Amino acid sequence: MSEEPPDPNLRYPWQQAVFDALREYRPDQKHSKRIAANLAISERLRQRPQETLELLALQDAMRAMQIVFAEPEPKAESTQKKETA
């Protein structure tokens, strides 16, 4: 999953994939790391963890992934162009 040694500060195994995705800067690697992180989160949620702290960590990870990897919204036609035409 990761080329580097696991981060000893991470509490749950699935967090390594998320951490790797969030810190990836190489464009050719971002997509695959993002997919791996989303899969790690999904797989853990399917296992139905009972620990409240882990559930909160999963929610935080999902939110972070959504924010960091948000697709830019398509630009709407400017109303200023219509006014000047």
Burial of 20 (0-12, 13-18, 19+ CB in 10 A): buried
Task: Tell me if 56 is assigned to some domain.
Answer: yes
pTM equals 0.75
Contact (Cβ atoms closer than 8 angstroms) between residue 18 and residue 34: no
- Token pair, residue 32, equals 């695959």
Q: Report CA torsion sign: 57, 25, 37, 15.
A: negative
Task: Tell me if 55 is assigned to some domain.
Answer: yes
Task: Tell me if 20 is assigned to some domain.
Answer: no
Task: Tell me if 35 is assigned to some domain.
Answer: yes
Mean pLDDT of the chain: 87
Q: Which domain holds residue 58?
A: 29-68
Domain count, the chain: 1
Task: Tell me if 37 is assigned to some domain.
Answer: yes
- Per-residue pLDDT at 81 exceeds 80: no
- Token pair, residue 26, equals 């190489």
